[in-house]
Amino acid sequence: MLRQGVPARSRAGRVAFVVLGAITFCHLLNDVMQALLPAIYPMLKSAFALSFGQIGLLTLIFQVTASLLQPIVGLYTDRRPQPYSLPLGMACSLLGMITLAFAPSFSTLLVGAALLGIGSSIFHPESSRLARLASGGAHGFAQSFFQVGGHVGSALGPLLAAFVVLPQGRGSIAWFALAALLGICILAAVGRWYKGAVCSRAEPESRYAT
């Protein structure tokens, strides 16, 4: 029995590490898209003849939805885990990218920034919890590894803006929707593992409660 249990735990550990790698990679994709918006401010200012006040408003909308909304999402998902909210958040980011790429007006840019921010707010609370679930008890390592993905994405975003968006024009932002689509596919698979992990943890608690 012991011999059978050890390989099973080993396989579970490998699967959890793959899940941690997948969510970290998606964190990279998410933060690449988040970092693109500030990096293209000069392009947007020129294309739409924006004032510094309008740039500030664009930043406000983005930051309110990307940062201040996160605790609200986290409070809700603490009570009701939402495994499939991860691909939903990435879908919001995808819509944000497309909106920013083809926005005809400043007001539409604000919508694109809000969608991008909402996507990030939905993604971060549940993905942080998922990284902890996949840690195998190594919570500090898992969280640090997860954060590395985000920091790498934040560093790559401005570089991609400089070498892809600026030479090719604002429409090329839509290409980053493909990164979001890849993230949706990965997160849908990860969500199934997450749902199973949440259910397996809930079963012993329910038995204990009875």
Strand (E) or helix (H) holding 132: helix 106-133
3-class SS letters over 169-187 = CHHHHHHHHHHHHHHHHHH
Structural domains in the chain, CATH included, are 11-209 (1.20.1250.20)
pTM, to two decimals: 0.85
Q: Which two tokens stand for residue 141?
A: 């390592």
Query: Could you report the per-residue pLDDT of 6-63, keeping only the tens digit for each?
Result: 454 455 567 778 889 999 999 999 999 999 999 999 999 999 999 999 999 999 999 9
pLDDT of residue 203: 45
Contact between residue 27 and residue 157 where contact means Cβ atoms under 8 Å apart:
no
Q: Distance between CA atoms of 153 and 113, rounded to whole angstroms?
A: 18
Task: Return the closest-CA partner of residue 19 out of 77, 83, 76.
Answer: 83
pLDDT of residue 2: 43
Q: Flag whether pLDDT at 117 surpasses 80.
A: yes
Query: Could you report the per-residue pLDDT of 139-168, keeping only the tens digit for each?
Result: 888 899 999 999 999 999 999 999 999 999
Mean pLDDT for the chain? Answer: 87
